[in-house]
Amino acid sequence: MRLLKDALARRAMAVIAALPGLLVLFIVIGLFLRSKAILGVEPLSRFLFSSAWSPMKGEFGLLPFIAGTMWVTLTALALAVPVSILTAIYLSEYAPRWARRAAQPVIDLLAGLPSVVYGAWGVILVVPFVGNVLAPLAGVYSSGYSILAGGIILAIMTFPTIIHVTLEVFASVPRALREASLSLGATKWETTRHVVLRKGAQGILAASVLGFSRALGETMAVLMVVGNVPSVPRSLFDPGYPLPALIANNYGEMMSIPRYDAALMMAALVLMLIVLAFNVLARGILIRVERKVR
């Protein structure tokens, strides 16, 4: 009887554990089926590499949106990763214990804030800052609703995640290992750079991947500050129109236009594949790093 229960439990848990994996497959298949309507009409490359977007005329080039997504995400990461790592280094290696204790709940709180809150804050603060301060500094005109504003907001939103995970990575580096380096006469910074960072490289990379994945799909806050103009951005101060914003803005309003629905499904599918490809790439890098240092 007990053995039977054990066997049953094992089966049940195996099925449940397999669900998330299957879910990814189902989503891809579902999106693919819904976007097939448009695939039959024109070749795939037309959608991916054309920047003509006028649904009324039946042109659905996704390039501006793909470019918008990449621009915003890369800007966000370029800002978020270094700042997060330096923050985590400070908190874990230099700050007194009380500061670390005080900072951690605040960081976790930031991670849990709804993204509309970030969006609203972005509209009242970041957008004017970009439009009135940064753009004139760079000698260009910008309304402020731009890739840069989107990137800044996204960076702020990904900080907490990256900092949190990086802190845990640093905490897992044994104290005695730091002491080994210090006892050779290394300074704290040398120890951090050569020992702690190196030992934690893998984890930091994983933390960045986590942040990246979140940034790629983040919709609301970005949509509110990025300008939503369907053209390929040429500078950080240009407005952009990332894929998630496109889908969120238009879904439900496009019933009258033929094939619009399928085009949006296509957009979702592309977004999904970008996230997937990125994760696979990151995993590859992770494995290589793992082999190199241990």
- Footprint on this chain of other proteins (rule: CB under 8 A): 96-97, 174-187, 190, 194-195, 198-199, 292-294
Task: Count CA atoms closer than 13 A to 247's CA, side-chain side.
Answer: 20
Could you give the CA distance from residue 67 to residue 198 in angstroms, rounded to a whole number? 33
Between 34 and 198, CB nearer to other proteins: 198
Between 26 and 94, CB nearer to other proteins: 94
Residue in the block written with tokens 């907001």: 153
Nearest CA among 191, 200, 219, 238 for reference residue 64: 238
Between 18 and 293, CB nearer to other proteins: 293
Nearest CA among 273, 269, 216 for reference residue 245: 216
Least distance to other proteins from the beta carbon of 92, Å?
Answer: 13
Residue in the block written with tokens 């580096």: 173
Least distance to other proteins from the beta carbon of 88, Å?
Answer: 18
b/e map of 75-85 (b: 16 or more CB within 10 Å)?
A: bbbebbbeebb
DSSP-assigned letter for residue 50: -
DSSP H or E stretch at residue 54: strand 53-54
Could you give the CA distance from residue 243 to residue 184 in angstroms, rounded to a whole number? 52
Between 150 and 200, CB nearer to other proteins: 200
Least distance to other proteins from the beta carbon of 200, Å?
Answer: 9
Between 57 and 97, CB nearer to other proteins: 97
Could you give the CA distance from residue 51 to residue 40 in angstroms, rounded to a whole number? 19
Least distance to other proteins from the beta carbon of 101, Å?
Answer: 11
Could you give the CA distance from residue 130 to residue 121 in angstroms, rounded to a whole number? 13
Least distance to other proteins from the beta carbon of 168, Å?
Answer: 17
Between 83 and 195, CB nearer to other proteins: 195
Least distance to other proteins from the beta carbon of 173, Å?
Answer: 9
DSSP-assigned letter for residue 51: -
